[in-house]
Structure 1
Amino acid sequence: MSVLFPRLLPRQAHKLYEEYKSLTIEELEQRTALRHDSAVYAATGGDRVREKDLAQLRQAVVAVAREAGFPNRSTPAAKNDFDRNVGELLHRTAGLAPAEAAARDIWVFLALVVLPDVSFWRFEKRTDERFLAKDLTRHVFGRLWWRAHLVHDTDSSDPYAALNILGEGAFDQIYARRRALGGSPQLVRSILHVWNEIETGGLNETDLLKDFLKRLLRLGAFMSFETLHNEQLNAEVRRAAHDSLQAFHAERLPRHALEHARG
């Protein structure tokens, strides 16, 4: 059964965000809490999370943040490590079912009530998309849980190993297409597995990934990925990646030939 987390509704969330975005990390640390008078819960679907579990979750996330430099300034590489580690931590320990994790207001509660100091440390620009969960692919914590959920492989000795394959921008390309692609963890794992295999040979990886995903979207219009065994699915995904590579290399050949002729 899923654990139900408190939900901080938009009106109060906006109020807290406007108040907190100008505070220092030290001041935000003094505002952390495990409850909020305006928080609500889903009526059914599981047991409410205990405050002691929220306290343990906060302690664990803060420990990961400290390894990345919190509360001081950090490097992009250290913050990427923070993202991977917290994504695994949240997915492994929070006890959320996907239906509960899809509720944006629970992530707002975590970001603005339980972990405001860590949240605003992670994103120094403090734009509202990172805290108010208008889009879960951008939220400071929600995006990490979903990234971990989509790559989680129970058959692997390291179920979260695929978190190391793509960065945030690349993974967002997959999750932004979640209705057709990102909603299937099996397909996402196959995409990551195949992407990790290919040699891009100096090609623009962002453009190549976009083309690769477009081919899968077209394929998904007449194929049910969920009905395929892993080997079959990997074969179809690998074929789409190969077609993208061939197309990109073909585009480069005339340009190189022209440059050679001019030389």
Structure 2
Amino acid sequence: MMEWKVLKKSECEKILSKWTDSYDVKWDPSQDFEPIRDSLTKLFGSVKEELGINLPSGNEYAFDFRFGMGLYSILNEKFHISEYQASNDSFWIYLSMKVIPDVVFWRWGPGKNDRFYANSRRIYLKALWWYVHLSWQGNKEETYRILEENTTDEIVQLVERSGPFGYRVDLCRVMMRLYNEYGYGLRGRNNKLFRRAMKLNTARLAVVEPALYEGEEEGYVRELFQELIAN
């Protein structure tokens, strides 16, 4: 398992203040994370080249989704990250502040401390990994297909609504697959279907166990989307 330094909030604040003032964002090679940095910066360059962009403005989701898919693949396949490790904020904070700070800074710019360390659910790299993990359909191709037409709002709604007992991974994956089916043609910044579905799901989980539902998670989620669309 990779070892990393746990960064205190005061350390993060000091580092970020320098970037805010100077835009001189550099990685810290003090620990053995160079293989991860090499892989992720190559991914960063290839995604920008694929999209033909130098800045993220107007291409936020297109970048997030593609970089997130690559990040998930690299960390899982090359570096064998586990769900347990992916739940550890200190890992993502170290990656954000010390290993690929230039990538995170490029995406969010100055002053966005919540995307680096300050808000557990909004740490950028962590959010991307969990977005892909909670959407995973067994292979890259199918996962790519169901995520390609989404927006940044779907990332927020999925990742930031973990519930009181954490993520229900299997249920989330069904939600994402069926949202692709029921939300086809309805996507966009003005689409509230997924947001409404996640809110209704959160409320229902307090009284309903999807695994005991007729049709289990699939039946539960289908009925949820059908009810929302009908109304």
Distance 1:23 1:71 in 2: 23
2:41 to 62, 87, 90: 62
Q: Select 2:28's aligned residue among 28, 33, 41.
A: 33
| Per-residue CA distance 1:170-223 (angstroms, 9 max, x = gap) | 221122221269701211111111111125776985433232223322332232
1:71–1:121 CA contact under 8 A, matched in 2: no
Distance 2:164 2:2 in 1: 27
Say if 1:129 and 1:139, in contact at 8 Å, map to a contact too: yes
Alignment of 1:117-196 (within 5 A): 117-136=102-121, 138-154=122-138, 156=139, 158=141, 160-161=143-144, 162-179=146-163, 183-196=167-180
Change (3 A) 1:144 1:132: same
Which residue identity is paired with 2:127?
A: R
Tell me the percent identity. Answer: 18
Contact 1:182/1:188 (<8 A) preserved: no
2:29 aligned partner, one-letter code: L
Q: Which runs of 5+ in 1 are unaligned?
A: 37-50, 248-263
Q: Which residue is equivalent to 1:112?
A: 97
Provide the rounded CA distance (Å) in 2 between the counterparts of 1:190 and 1:239.
Answer: 12
2:11 corresponds to which residue?
12
Task: Give me the whole-angstrom Cα distance separating, in 1, the residues matched to 2:68 and 2:22.
Answer: 26
Larger Rg: 1
Aligned mates of 1:211, 1:112 — CA distance in 2 = 34
Shift of 1:245: 1.0
Superposition TM-score, scaled by structure 2 size: 0.80
**TM-superposed deviation, 1:17:** 1.0
Task: Give the distance between the partners of 1:221 and 1:32, measured in 2 at CA.
Answer: 44
> Which runs of no fewer than 5 residues in structure 2 stay unpaired?
none
Contact kept in structure 2, 1:34 and 1:55, CA below 8 Å? yes
The 8 Å contact of residues 197 and 224 in structure 2, kept in 1 or not, is answered as yes
